[in-house]
């Protein structure tokens, strides 16, 4: 573990023999089998594959939401398996922005407050927070709808709020779990354009999708099947 | 902090009915505590106030040690009184004679306690607390005057005798028939109520008249005032021994120093308060379970939301804090409302006691009771919110996000 921690790597994220098994009653499901992959700084990677192929599991591990059964995930050279729950929360907060298929906005908060929430957890002062949130909403072209609750926004608008939220602590990595899965094609394209723009600004972007057209827009595509990454 | 409040407030409002019901539990609990405390403080205060002028009194009665059993086991003599007066440290000794007698007014006959006392002793017995009824301002003297040594067939009557005992109200200069002889009312005493309500139901005559009415000069009780309150207990013992000697009996006399009785009463009140609080805290336990239940449900319903918050970087303690705060805010508001309701309830109870028993108990609202009430509410809320909040904070982010 110590060796892993100090090891110098040029890539932002890489995995070593990553395995994840779930136990469902008596049945053991091998969701990931020996996944070795590298994602470099500033890359735009799409992970595609049929459902059950393990792509969401991989994404959860890359996003520090879950811990591997064996193997390791390195983020900026740090082995995440050695980190405490709190340290993982800090990585999620500072280094990673999450975008979900279901948008997952907090429905009691308006767009502005939702975008400011990760900064609230980071202890950023209220004024700074709200100003930054406002800028981010303007950036995703929702400057007019800042005070609307999620229920008053369309799916595409909600996903743009979610993108703004993922950017609020200025992370290096944006992880999207089927970010276009719940919106129509045109909106999906628009969302991809935003992500492409972010990639041009230097963000590393990893999205899971089963839409080949969306995947085609990414710089690199990884195909998964039965818990393995096929090159 | 402000945003945490906002977040918490939105969640509380989101589940308005449930929050209000939870709050209601706390409101009832705290209201009960506040009402009970302020009423019992009021009781304690009114009783000690009434008794405070009696701390230098030793009440000497024949027979049993119990309060309120006058002259049932014999009586004292002139000699006893003289001996008591001679004991050092005794400032004044006043003899009282009391007996139930038939009193007639405008054809109506009622049994009333007649008390015979030397007029100069009245002050010794009552101090300044018993006064003639205030002139109502009608210009006619409705209150009369004090009894005098040379008054014959004259009486002072208690407030209830004047107003409640007979169909007709009795005023100064009206005439009553006591045991066959006519007496003139020369004064009506101010209402006493409470601990001294017995005075309201008595008729006072001079000692000489009492001897005529009762046909005996037996003394039913002796009131002693001492010079030094510190010595009261010792003097009381001496009085008891002296009179017992006179009658060649053991435990014939009960001599009770009122100062000690007041202390006893205060400690009884403290025990009573603790006991009442113990009963009332049951309602707080019920309220605590309500909060725990609500918070648990809230955690379950918001599992997904907790997962999302964790995914975007919330630490366990951020989640813990939000849920503790929610429980704390609900119970804090409940505590404040409980104080208000409790105060109102105390006033209603006080009025109820006054209407039903004619006893005036002021509501004594102490700031520390109110602040304590709110503090207890918040504490109960946070303590009972702790288990659910901790459960929420420990949720695995992946599983929580997946939970729908």
What are the respective helix, strand and coil percentages of chain B, to the nearest 5? 60, 15, 25
Q: Of the ranges A52-56, B236-240, B315-319, which is most confident?
A: B315-319
pLDDT per residue as tens digits for the range A64-77: 999 899 999 999 88
Q: Looking at the partner chain, which of A85, A106, A118 has a beta carbon nearest the beta carbon of B313?
A: A118
User: Cβ A98–B3 below 8 Å, yes or no?
Assistant: no
Q: Which of residues 121-160 of B touch A (CB under 8 A)?
A: none
pLDDT per residue as tens digits for the range B259-282: 777 778 888 888 988 898 888 888
User: Cβ A60–B2 below 8 Å, yes or no?
Assistant: no
pLDDT of residue B98: 87
pLDDT of residue B127: 60
Chain A contact present for B10, CB below 8 A: yes
Specify whether the CB–CB gap between A37 and A213 falls below 8 A. no
User: Cβ B315–A89 below 8 Å, yes or no?
Assistant: yes
User: Cβ B3–A93 below 8 Å, yes or no?
Assistant: no
- Please, what is the average pLDDT of chain A? 89
User: Cβ A121–B314 below 8 Å, yes or no?
Assistant: yes
Rounded mean pLDDT, A206-222 = 88
pLDDT of residue A174: 95
Rounded mean pLDDT, B235-253 = 84
User: Cβ A85–B316 below 8 Å, yes or no?
Assistant: yes
Rounded mean pLDDT, B1-30 = 85
User: Cβ A118–B6 below 8 Å, yes or no?
Assistant: no
Q: Is the pLDDT of residue A52 over 70?
A: yes
Specify whether the CB–CB gap between B28 and B221 falls below 8 A. no
- Please, what is the average pLDDT of chain B? 84
Rounded mean pLDDT, B157-165 = 87
Q: For residue B177, what are its two tokens? A: 């028939």
pLDDT per residue as tens digits for the range A157-204: 999 999 999 999 999 999 999 998 888 888 999 999 999 999 999 999
**Rounded percentage of chain A residues whose pLDDT exceeds 90:** 66
Chain B residue numbers with beta carbons less than 8 Å from the beta carbon of A122 are: 313
**Rounded percentage of chain A residues whose pLDDT exceeds 70:** 95
Query: Which chain B residue has the Cα nearest residue A116?
Result: B3
Q: How far apart are CA B227 and CA B200, in angstroms?
A: 28
Residue holding tokens 């944006």?
A: A174
pLDDT per residue as tens digits for the range B201-237: 889 998 888 888 888 888 888 888 888 888 888 888 8
Per-residue b/e over A89-106, b at no fewer than 16 CB within 10 Å?
A: bbbbbebbbbbbbbbbbb
**Rounded percentage of chain B residues whose pLDDT exceeds 70:** 90
Q: Is the pLDDT of residue B84 over 90?
A: no
Query: Which chain A residue has the Cα nearest residue B15?
Result: A108
Chain A residue numbers with beta carbons less than 8 Å from the beta carbon of B311 are: 63, 65, 92, 98, 100, 104
pLDDT of residue A78: 87
User: Cβ B397–A65 below 8 Å, yes or no?
Assistant: yes
A contact test, residue of B12, B301, B312, B317 with most A CBs within 10 A:
B312
Query: Which chain B residue has the Cα nearest residue A87?
Result: B315
Rounded mean pLDDT, B114-126 = 79
Q: Which of residues 305-344 of B touch A (CB under 8 A)?
A: 305, 308-316, 318
Q: Is the pLDDT of residue A7 over 60?
A: no
Give the list of residues 6+ apart from residue B22 with CB closer than 8 angstroms, or none. B290, B291, B293, B294, B330, B331, B334
Give the list of residues 6+ apart from residue B255 with CB closer than 8 angstroms, or none. B58, B59, B60, B224, B236, B237, B239, B240, B243
Q: How many CB pairs under 8 A join A and B?
A: 72
Chain B residue numbers with beta carbons less than 8 Å from the beta carbon of A113 are: 3, 6
Q: How far apart are CA B219 and CA B117, in angstroms?
A: 10
B contact test, residue of A80, A99, A121, A177 with most B CBs within 10 A:
A121
User: Cβ B316–A118 below 8 Å, yes or no?
Assistant: no
Q: Is the pLDDT of residue B129 over 80?
A: no
pLDDT of residue B71: 43
User: Cβ A65–B318 below 8 Å, yes or no?
Assistant: no
pLDDT of residue B73: 59
pLDDT of residue B138: 37
Rounded mean pLDDT, A117-138 = 93
User: Cβ A66–B311 below 8 Å, yes or no?
Assistant: no
pLDDT per residue as tens digits for the range B327-362: 999 999 999 999 999 999 999 999 998 888 877 788
Q: Is the pLDDT of residue B51 over 90?
A: no
Bridge partners (DSSP) listed for residue B317: none
pLDDT of residue B134: 54
Q: Looking at the partner chain, which of B7, B315, B398 has a beta carbon nearest the beta carbon of A65?
A: B398
């Amino acid at each position: 573990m110590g060796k892993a921690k100090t090891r110098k790597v040029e890539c932002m994220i890489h995995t070593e023999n990553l395995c994840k098994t779930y136990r469902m009653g008596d049945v053991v499901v091998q969701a990931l089998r020996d996944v070795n992959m590298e994602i470099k700084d500033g890359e735009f990677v799409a992970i595609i594959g049929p459902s059950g192929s393990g792509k969401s599991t991989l994404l959860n591990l890359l996003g520090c939401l879950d811990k591997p059964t064996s193997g390791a995930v390195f983020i900026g050279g740090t082995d995440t398996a050695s980190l405490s729950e709190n340290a993982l929360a800090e990585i999620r907060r500072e280094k990673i922005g999450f975008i979900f298929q279901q948008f997952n906005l907090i429905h009691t908060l308006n767009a502005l407050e939702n975008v400011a929430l990760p900064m609230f957890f980071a202890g950023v002062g209220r004024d700074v927070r709200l100003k930054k949130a406002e800028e981010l909403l303007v950036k995703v072209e929702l400057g007019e709808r800042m005070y609307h609750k999620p229920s008053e926004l369309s799916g595409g608008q909600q996903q743009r709020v979610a993108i703004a939220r993922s950017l609020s602590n200025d992370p290096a990595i944006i992880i999207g779990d089927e970010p276009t899965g719940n919106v129509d094609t045109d909106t999906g394209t628009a969302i991809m354009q935003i992500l492409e723009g972010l990639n041009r600004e230097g963000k590393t972007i990893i999205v899971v999708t089963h839409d080949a057209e969306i995947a085609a827009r990414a710089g690199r595509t990884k195909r998964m099947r039965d818990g393995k990454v096929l090159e | 902090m402000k945003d945490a409040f906002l977040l918490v407030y939105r969640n509380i409002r989101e589940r308005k009915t449930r929050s209000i019901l939870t709050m209601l539990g706390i409101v009832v609990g705290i209201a009960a505590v506040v009402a009970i405390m302020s009423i019992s403080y009021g009781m304690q205060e009114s009783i000690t106030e009434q008794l405070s002028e009696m701390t230098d009194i030793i009440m000497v009665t024949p027979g049993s040690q119990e309060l309120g059993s006058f002259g049932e086991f014999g009586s004292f003599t002139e000699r006893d009184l003289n001996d008591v007066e001679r004991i050092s440290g005794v400032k004044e000794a006043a003899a009282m004679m009391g007996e139930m007698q038939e009193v007639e007014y405008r054809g109506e006959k009622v049994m009333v306690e007649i008390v015979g006392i030397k007029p100069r002793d009245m002050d010794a017995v009552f101090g300044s607390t018993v006064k003639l009824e205030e002139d109502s301002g009608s210009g006619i003297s409705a209150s009369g005057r004090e009894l005098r040594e040379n008054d014959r067939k004259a009486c002072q009557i208690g407030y209830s005798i004047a107003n409640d005992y007979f169909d007709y109200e009795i005023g100064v200069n009206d005439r009553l028939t006591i045991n066959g002889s006519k007496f003139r009312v020369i004064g009506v005493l101010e209402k006493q109520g409470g601990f001294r309500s017995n005075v309201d139901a008595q008729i006072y005559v001079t000692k000489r008249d009492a001897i005529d009415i009762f046909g005996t000069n037996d003394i039913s009780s002796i009131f002693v005032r001492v010079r030094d309150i510190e010595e009261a207990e010792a003097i009381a013992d001496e009085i008891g021994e002296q009179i017992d000697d006179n009658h060649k009996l053991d435990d014939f006399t009960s001599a009770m120093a009122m100062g000690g009785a007041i202390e006893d009463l205060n400690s009884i009140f403290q025990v009573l308060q603790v006991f009442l609080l113990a009963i009332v805290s049951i309602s707080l336990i019920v309220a605590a379970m309500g909060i725990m239940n609500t918070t648990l449900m809230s955690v379950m319903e918001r599992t997904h939301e907790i997962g999302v918050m964790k995914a975007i970087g919330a630490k366990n303690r951020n989640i813990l804090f939000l849920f503790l705060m929610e429980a704390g805010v609900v119970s804090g508001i409940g505590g404040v409302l409980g104080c208000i309701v409790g105060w109102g309830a105390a006033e209603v109870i006080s009025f109820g006691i006054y209407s039903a028993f004619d006893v005036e108990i002021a509501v004594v609202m102490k700031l520390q009771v109110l602040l304590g009430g709110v503090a207890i509410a918040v504490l109960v809320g946070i303590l009972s919110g702790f288990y659910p909040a901790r459960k929420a904070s420990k949720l695995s982010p992946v599983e929580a996000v997946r939970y729908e």
